[in-house]
Amino acid sequence: MRVLALIGTRPEAIKMAPVVRALQARPDRFSRVSVCLSGQHRELTDEVVRRFSLPVDYDLNLMRPGQTPEDVLAAGLRGIGEVLRTEQPDYALFHGDTVTALVAALAAFYARIPSAHVEAGLRTGTLTRPFPEEMHRTVADRICSFCYAPTPQARSHLEREGIPSDRILVTGNTVVDAIRLAIRIASEEPWPEELAAAGIEDRKVVVLTAHRREHFGAPLRRILGAADRLARAHRDCCFLFPAHPNPEVRRAVSDALGADSPVHVIPPLEYGVFARLLQRAALILTDSGGIQEEASVLGVPFVVLREATERPEALSDGLGCLAGTDPDRIIEAAERLLGAPRQPNKMGNTPLGDGRAAERIAAHLAGEEVAPWTPPSAGETGAGENHQGIYQAGDRNNG
Ligand code: UDP
């Protein structure tokens, strides 16, 4: 079989990397495994490609300053369509909910090439939240040939939308495979200079990330203001904000954080380094989808800087809570979690996967019978034990 993986952004590269590697590990079944980068995001994706040694056969290099989703959509549809017609894979794989994912699904549909969606079925239930990702993944799931759902809940979203059960396999989330692999590969590397200089080795670490499109402007300034207040109240902690290169994020930093702010604003970190930093953290504050999952897998308490999450499984064992962008709610949640004990690293099965999602996808594509992944029962993870009284069923703040 010939399989083509289509990747546009850093999170797609991270979560698709284990799948590409699992396919490459089976040359008996996959005679060609190729990768096409749309280039929707440039440097951040290139770093992941290098970290996981992914082969890149096509690079559409679409990124333009000030690009809109429509720009990427229009150029990507033509570019990916041409690649599909040249490559003629037996299967095109795409991941997640970016413009590149939607374009990949559309282009494969037009070229009549079977396509499969990795991490299918995530939903908030509101088409505009998150914007525009909920629309991307809903349309992509409708038109692709096969859905690899990360969890049983994602599967039930798909079934509710009329996707037949025989077009869905629950695999676990490939993020579990990815973060474990990255930590293993990078485990012996020294910390980069900026992290050592910030004092991560002898202080508790708090990691902040925030760059969602719907938070640009006032919400982002509120988030940063809350982080600044927290960092001033907790001088024993090292607050690190690896800031996304987006100009809107830069603007919010200069508006909300004074020169004397104890929040260290640093460039984005390479994934292997970032994964190890998350593993070391006492607390994570994030509006990212993937980082919520990674925090849950690593057993690190986390505050989700969003009003709703399409990843409720990550909150299921009481490690994380939703706080939106209101500074008082963020500070209240962070204070509560900072005092909470860390859970041990979850090395086996987690509420998001067992680290073998990529292997299942490769086996399924190879035509083998694959048993769906099943989440651990409450006793295995501590789910339902409500460790720090953080997650209450029916609690408005916890979705
Ligand atoms: N990430 C990284 N370096 C950083 C910040 C994030 O490697 O400095 C990784 C992070 O571990 C996660 C992914 O990038 O796997 C999240 O990307 P992003 O927040 O852009 O997207 P989302 O998860 O919201 O789709």
pLDDT tens per residue across span 238-276 = 999 999 888 999 999 999 999 999 999 999 999 999 999
Domain end among 105, 137, 170: 170
User: Would you call 42 helix, strand, or coil by DSSP?
Assistant: coil
Same domain, 141 and 215: no
Compute the distance between CA of residue 184 and CA of residue 93 in angstroms, rounded to an integer.
Answer: 25
Q: What is the pLDDT of residue 317?
A: 81
Compute the distance between CA of residue 269 and CA of residue 249 in angstroms, rounded to an integer.
Answer: 16
Q: Which structural domain range is residue 39 located in?
A: 2-170
Q: Which domain CATH number covers 128?
A: 3.40.50.2000
Q: What is the pLDDT of residue 344?
A: 66
What is the band of 390 on the pLDDT scale with cuts at 50, 70, 90?
very low
CA of 310 to the centre of ligand 1 (A): 16
CA of 41 to the centre of ligand 1 (A): 12
Same domain, 207 and 308: yes
CA of 140 to the centre of ligand 1 (A): 22
For residue 133, give the ligand 1 atom closest to its CA.
25
Same domain, 194 and 299: yes
pLDDT surpassing 70 at residue 283 = yes
Same domain, 163 and 261: no
Does 226 fall in a domain? yes
- Nearest CA owner, ligand 1 atom 19: 288
Q: What is the pLDDT of residue 214?
A: 86
Same domain, 209 and 290: yes
CA of 1 to the centre of ligand 1 (A): 31
Does 297 fall in a domain? yes
CA distances 260 to 126, 180, 232, Å, are 40, 36, 10
For residue 98, give the ligand 1 atom closest to its CA.
25
Does 378 fall in a domain? no
Check residues 234 and 309 and name the one with the higher pLDDT: 234
- Nearest CA owner, ligand 1 atom 24: 288
Does 228 fall in a domain? yes
For residue 269, give the ligand 1 atom closest to its CA.
8
CA of 12 to the centre of ligand 1 (A): 9
Mean pLDDT of 356-375: 98
Compute the distance between CA of residue 124 and CA of residue 326 in angstroms, rounded to an integer.
Answer: 20
Whether residue 123 contacts residue 134, with contact meaning beta carbons closer than 8 Å, is answered with yes
- Residue 172 has what DSSP assignment? -
Same domain, 224 and 129: no
For residue 286, give the ligand 1 atom closest to its CA.
19
pLDDT surpassing 70 at residue 13 = yes
Does 372 fall in a domain? no
- Nearest CA owner, ligand 1 atom 10: 291
List the Cα angle 127/373/152 in 5-degree steps: 30
Catalytic residues: 97, 119, 133, 211, 213, 244
CA of 49 to the centre of ligand 1 (A): 14
Same domain, 123 and 212: no
Does 20 fall in a domain? yes
Q: Which of 47, 220, 244, 271 to mutate to test the pocket of ligand 1 (most atoms within 8 A of CB)?
A: 271
Other Cβ atoms less than 10 A from the Cβ of 152: the count is 14
Domain end among 170, 203, 233: 170
Q: Over the range 219-238, which residues count as b (16 or more CB within 10 Å of their CB) and which as e? A: bbbbbbbbbbbbbeebeebb
> Which residues on neighbouring strands pair with residue 239, listed in sequence order?
206
Nearest to 28 by CA among 380, 277, 366: 366
Q: How many domains does the chain have?
A: 2
Same domain, 18 and 156: yes
Per the prediction, the chain carries an average pLDDT of 92
- Nearest CA owner, ligand 1 atom 7: 271
Q: Which of 266, 288, 296, 352 to mutate to test the pocket of ligand 1 (most atoms within 8 A of CB)?
A: 288
% helix, strand, coil for the chain, step of 5: 45, 15, 40
Percentage above 70 pLDDT, the chain: 93
Same domain, 210 and 155: no
Q: What is the pLDDT of residue 67?
A: 86
Same domain, 394 and 289: yes
Does 371 fall in a domain? no
- Ligand 1 contacts (CB < 6 A) are 10-11, 14, 209, 242, 268-269, 271, 274, 288-291, 294
Same domain, 147 and 221: no
Does 180 fall in a domain? no
What are 328-348's pLDDT values in tens digits? 999 999 999 998 777 766 678
What is the band of 392 on the pLDDT scale with cuts at 50, 70, 90?
very low
Same domain, 140 and 17: yes
Report which residue type is found at 92. Answer: A
Check residues 385 and 210 and name the one with the higher pLDDT: 210
